Amino acid sequence: MTGYNVSKLANGIHVLSENIPHIKSFSLGFWINTGSKNENPRTNGISHFIEHMMFKGTYKRSASKLSNEIEALGGYLNAFTSKEHTCFYGRGLSQNINKTFEVIADMLLNSRFRETDISKEVGVVIDELHDIEDSPEELVFEKLETNIYKGNTLEYPIIGTEKNILCFDRSMILEYIEKYYRNSNLFIVVSGNVKHYEILKLADTYFNARPAKRRLAEKKIKLQPSKDIIINKEVQQVHAVIGKPVAGYSSDLRAKINLLSHILGEGSSSRLFQTLREKNGITYQINSFLNSFYNSSTFGVYFSTNPKNYKRAISLVYNELQKINKKPITKKEFERAKAYIKGNIIMGLENTTNRMLRMAQSFIYFNRIKTIEETIDELDSVKLDELLELSYTLFDPDTFVKTIISPEDMAISLIQ
């Protein structure tokens, strides 16, 4: 039997835990409620850069010792940065929870940020930036969101710009940490064979000296019209996304949009997959997507295809958007989408890292941990006629904008 526990320490840190007594491991995450959305034109990319620098050594441990101490115990240490969060996390056997906690706390509290390490990591991150630029299936999504969120901080790419990365120094890093790595922005989340009181004791031991500060307020999204864009690169295929901003986690509409996205293009039984890949054979990659933030989500369709097939492919995509209203969603499609989403949710629970991620995002977005039963009940409560009504506005072809990466020598016009 599992159970959630949530505590808020006097210094403002939230501690969330889930005890799963029948397993022998844990996943532990230290979530900082900041990402590229908290940056500005000068600092864009610094959240991600700081994530890298946290692994470069503390006053107690060298860079190699940080990972060696965890891996020597059969564990794992990693991190990621998104537009809204930065997470440092570790996995291990339950008897090693104290060591994993202490190592990550040491990274967050005692990283040295030496100028020599910063200079070296600048080159590493610029290489990572170039990798993204050489990966059209990644770059096209980044360019779409830069386009549709223009004028909002969600437009900033997580990795930043080469110009900014070259300018990052110790003082900028410390200034950003002082502002955003505050206790009220820190969530310590663990799932596995652990005791809540033990995590509380560890949090109090390592973070008690830090004063409480008020949590920063969410900024509202102010959208403005976007235009189609095309980027010429040395690629073999055309990579295209049509997308639009829709409701985020803070809206009750998100569950319905998620269902509609699955019906349109998620899974091999979806309308887009069957039409473009199975019936016409003109694309290998085709799917719809819903990338969600607190106040907004990016909804759309991605595909890649041979340049000579692009016009046919984009025409079929738009036809499916219009057809979904002319040929309404059937009850069979509706129930299949529900079963697909529920199956993925339940199967994901077999992994403690997925459970830890779910707990953290739920609490950060909703200020509570939504149970699996609540999430499934929310899906089950959606009625078919509600989806049919929403589909008219969601799938309106005139509300989407195109972002296209194409071969440099492509002669035909892609923007129609």
**Does 50 reside within a domain?**
yes
260 and 293 in a single domain? The answer is yes
Q: Is residue 52 domain-shared with residue 114, that is, in the same domain? A: yes
The pTM for the full model equals 0.94
Domain contains 415? no
Residue closest to 8 by CA, chosen among 166, 206, 188, 271:
188
Write down the mean pLDDT value for the chain: 93
Would residue 221 count as lying in a domain?
no
Tell me: do 92 and 122 sit in the same domain.
yes
Instruction: Identify whether 196 is part of a domain.
Output: yes
Say which residue, 217 or 155, is predicted with more confidence.
Answer: 155
- Domain of residue 270: give its range: 229-407
Place 1 in a pLDDT band, splitting at 50, 70 and 90: very low
- The answer to whether 13 touches 199, Cβ cutoff 8 Å, is no
Say yes or no: 194 and 233 in one domain.
Answer: no
Tell me if 311 is assigned to some domain. Answer: yes
Report the number of distinct structural domains present in the chain.
2
**184 within domain boundaries:** yes
Q: Is 244 helix (H, G, I), strand (E, B) or coil?
A: strand
- Of all residues in the chain, the percent with pLDDT exceeding 70 is 95
User: Does the pLDDT value for residue 413 go beyond 60?
Assistant: no
Residue 404 pLDDT:
96
Nearby residues of 347 by Cβ (< 8 Å), 6 or more positions away: none
108, 31 in Cβ contact below 8 A? no
Q: Are residues 165 and 23 in the same domain?
A: yes
Whether residues 195 and 288 fall in one domain: no
List the single range of 13-27, 75-89, 201-215 with lowest mean pLDDT: 201-215
Residues 196, 240 within the same domain: no
Q: In what order do the strands lie in the sheet with 229-233?
A: 229-233, 401-407, 238-246, 297-305, 285-292
Assign residue 259 the CATH number of its domain. 3.30.830.10
More confident site: 346 or 209: 346
**DSSP string computed for 30-85:** EEES-SGGG--TTTTTHHHHHHHHTTSBBSS-BHHHHHHHHHTTT-EEEEEE-SS-
What is the pLDDT, as a whole number, of residue 222? Answer: 85
Residues 115 and 233 in one domain: no
| 233 and 172 within one domain | no
Number of continuous H segments (helices) and E segments (strands) in the chain: 15, 11
User: Domain check: are 238 and 269 in the same one?
Assistant: yes
pLDDT digits (tens, 9 = 90+) for 44-62: 999 999 999 999 999 999 9
Claim to verify: residue 60 and residue 181 sit in the same structural domain: yes
Specify if 214 maps to a domain.
no
Establish if 197 belongs to a structural domain: yes
Mean pLDDT across 351-373 = 95
Helix (H, G, I), strand (E, B) or coil at 246: strand
Give yes or no: residues 123 and 30 share one domain: yes
